[in-house]
C-alpha cells in the first residue's frame, strides 16, 4: 500500500511550528510495512488543499491528512475533502452529543461553531476524540482510503493508536517489529564498542541511538508475525550478556516507571528532598499513575532556611560544608526518610546554573543522597550542559541508585 501525508495549517508554512505529526505517523506506518512516499504541508486554503488532494489521489492509495478540523472558519479540511469527493456533509447525532458532553464536563457552553465539528462527509467512519472536540474520520472510496486526523499531537496520537493503527493493520502481511533496550551509565561510543559485532547483522538489525541522558539499542526484525518475536529475543539475550545491569528498561518504559514498579513489587516506600532539581524528582514519580502507593512526601527546599526548618538539616552542616555538599545531601535524604516514615529517602543538591557556580563548586556539580534502612549513599556528579540537562541527568542518576538497590545490584 502506497501512502502519503498531507498536513494542513498555515502556521506550518510560516515556520511557526515544526511538523512532528508527519514524523510520528511515518514512523508508525513504517512498522506496518506501509510505504509513505510523500509528505505535503499546505495552508488553510481551499484551492491549494484541493490541488494537493488531487495530486495525492492520483498517486497514492492511502491519504492521511492532519489538521484543519477545529471549530473556526479557518478550519476547512473536512469541507474541502467532502467537496473534492462530491460528498455531502452529514451531521452525526453521536458526535453532536459528544460535543455537548465535553462542554458539560468542562462547565462551559458550546458555541454554534463547535457543532460544525459534528459534520462529516457521508459514509465516514467517525473516530472519537477523547482529548478535544474535533473527531477524525476514515473514508473509503473507489479503492482509496482517506484518514483524517486533528492537528494537535495530544489529540492525534491517541486517536491514531486507538483507531487508525488497528484499522490499517488488516491491510498488511509482513511485520516489522522493534525492541528498544535502554542503557544508563555508559556513553554511546562505549556501548557501540562493546556490542560492535552485533551491529553488523542485517535481520535483525541493531542500531544505537542517544537518548536524553541515556543510550538505546534498537533491535528490528522483519518477517512473519510468529517469527519476529523469537528473532528479537535471541539478539536481546546476547546484548544482555554483554551489558548486564546497565540495561534498565525496554521500549518506552521510563526510568521512573521502572522504579515505581520495583517499589511496588518490593513493598517499599520512597520520599524525596530536592534542592537543585526543584520538584522534578517528585513530578517524575507522580507522573506514574498509582504512585501514591509508594510515594507520600516530597519536599523542595530551595533555601538554607527551608532545609533547616522543614527538613531539619543541621545549621552547622550548612555553615561548614554548604548547601551543595555530600554532608547536606546525606542529611536531606536521611531526614526526609524519617519525616515521611518511608523506607527510602532520596535527595539532590547542586548547582544547575546558568549562574551560581564558583571555582570550587562549578555549575554541574550535584550530590545525590540515598538513605536506606541499612546505609546512606552519596553520589557526586559532574554534569555538563544547560540547566534543563543538568536537572534531567541528576534525576536519572538518583533513580538509577534506587533501581540498583531494589534489584540487589551494586550501587556505587
Q: Contacts from 74-77 at CB under 8 Å and sequence distance 24+?
A: 74/10, 74/44, 75/44, 75/116, 76/8, 76/44, 76/45, 76/46, 76/49, 77/8, 77/49, 77/148
φ/ψ (deg, to 5) at 166: -60, -35
What gap in Å lies between CA 7 and CA 43, rounded to an integer? 8
Stretch that binds a copy of itself, among 104-112, 166-174, 241-249, 369-377 (CB under 8 A): 104-112
Smallest distance from a copy of itself to CB 36, Å: 5
From the list 94, 140, 253, 287, which residue makes contact with a copy of itself (rule: CB under 8 A)? 287
Stretch that binds a copy of itself, among 17-25, 82-90, 312-320, 370-378 (CB under 8 A): 17-25
Residue nearer to a copy of itself on the CB measure, 78 or 284: 284
**Is residue 302 part of the contact set for a copy of itself (CB under 8 A)?**
yes
From the list 169, 303, 338, 409, which residue makes contact with a copy of itself (rule: CB under 8 A)? 303
β-pair type (62-66, 2-8): parallel
Q: Residue 366 forms beta bridges with which residues?
A: 350, 381
Nearest alpha carbon to residue 326 among 345, 349, 292: 349
Residue nearer to a copy of itself on the CB measure, 22 or 401: 22
| Cell (9 digits) for 329 | 545531601
**Is residue 130 part of the contact set for a copy of itself (CB under 8 A)?**
yes
**Is residue 358 part of the contact set for a copy of itself (CB under 8 A)?**
no
8-state DSSP, 204: S
Residue nearer to a copy of itself on the CB measure, 121 or 298: 298
Q: What character string, x for contact with a copy of itself (CB under 8 A) and - otherwise, covers 188-227? A: xxx-xx-----x-------xxxx-x-----x-x-------
Q: What character string, x for contact with a copy of itself (CB under 8 A) and - otherwise, covers 229-268? A: ----------------------------------------
Nearest alpha carbon to residue 29 among 217, 222, 164, 148: 164
What gap in Å lies between CA 407 and CA 405, rounded to an integer? 5
Residue nearer to a copy of itself on the CB measure, 37 or 171: 37
Amino acid at each position: 500500500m502506497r501512502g502519503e501525508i498531507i498536513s494542513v495549517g498555515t502556521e506550518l508554512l510560516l515556520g511557526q511550528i515544526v511538523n512532528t505529526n508527519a514524523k510520528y505517523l511515518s514512523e508508525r506506518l513504517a512498522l506496518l510495512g506501509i510505504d509513505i512516499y510523500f509528505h505535503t504541508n499546505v495552508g488553510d486554503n481551499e484551492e491549494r488543499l484541493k490541488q494537493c488532494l488531487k495530486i495525492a489521489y492520483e498517486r497514492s492509495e492511502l491519504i492521511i491528512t492532519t489538521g484543519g478540523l477545529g471549530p473556526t472558519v479557518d478550519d476547512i479540511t473536512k469541507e474541502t475533502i467532502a467537496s473534492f469527493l462530491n460528498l455531502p456533509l452529514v451531521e452525526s447525532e453521536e458526535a453532536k452529543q459528544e460535543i455537548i458532553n465535553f462542554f458539560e464536563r468542562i462547565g462551559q457552553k458550546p458555541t454554534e461553531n463547535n457543532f460544525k465539528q459534528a459534520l462529516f462527509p457521508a459514509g465516514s467512519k467517525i473516530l472519537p476524540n477523547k482529548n478535544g472536540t474535533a473527531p477524525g474520520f476514515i473514508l473509503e472510496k473507489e479503492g482509496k482510503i482517506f484518514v483524517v486526523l486533528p492537528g494537535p499531537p495530544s489529540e492525534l496520537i491517541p486517536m491514531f493508536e486507538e483507531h487508525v493503527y488497528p484499522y490499517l493493520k488488516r491491510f498488511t502481511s509482513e511485520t516489522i517489529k522493534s525492541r528498544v533496550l535502554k542503557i544508563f551509565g555508559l556513553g554511546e561510543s562505549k556501548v557501540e564498542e562493546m556490542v560492535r559485532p552485533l551491529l553488523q547483522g542485517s535481520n535483525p538489525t541493531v542500531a544505537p541511538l542517544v537518548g536524553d541522558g541515556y543510550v538505546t539499542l534498537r533491535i528490528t526484525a522483519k518477517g512473519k508475525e510468529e517469527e519476529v518475536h523469537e528473532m528479537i529475543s535471541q539478539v536481546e539475550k546476547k546484548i544482555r550478556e554483554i551489558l548486564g545491569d546497565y540495561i534498565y528498561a525496554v521500549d518506552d518504559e521510563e526510568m521512573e516507571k521502572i522504579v515505581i514498579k520495583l517499589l511496588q513489587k518490593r513493598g517499599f516506600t520512597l520520599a524525596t528532598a530536592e534542592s537543585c532539581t526543584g520538584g522534578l524528582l517528585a513530578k517524575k514519580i507522580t507522573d506514574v499513575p498509582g504512585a501514591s502507593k509508594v510515594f507520600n512526601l516530597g519536599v523542595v527546599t530551595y533555601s538554607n532556611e527551608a532545609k533547616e526548618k522543614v527538613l531539619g538539616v543541621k545549621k552547622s552542616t550548612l555553615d561548614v560544608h554548604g548547601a551543595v555538599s555530600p554532608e547536606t545531601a546525606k542529611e536531606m535524604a536521611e531526614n526526609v526518610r524519617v519525616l515521611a516514615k518511608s523506607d527510602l529517602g532520596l535527595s539532590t543538591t547542586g548547582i544547575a546554573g546558568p549562574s551560581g557556580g564558583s571555582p570550587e563548586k562549578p555549575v554541574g556539580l550535584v550530590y545525590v543522597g540515598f538513605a536506606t534502612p541499612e546505609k546512606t549513599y552519596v553520589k557526586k556528579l559532574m554534569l555538563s550542559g544547560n540547566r534543563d540537562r543538568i536537572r534531567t541527568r541528576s534525576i536519572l542518576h538518583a533513580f538509577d541508585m534506587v533501581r540498583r538497590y531494589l534489584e540487589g545490584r551494586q550501587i556505587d
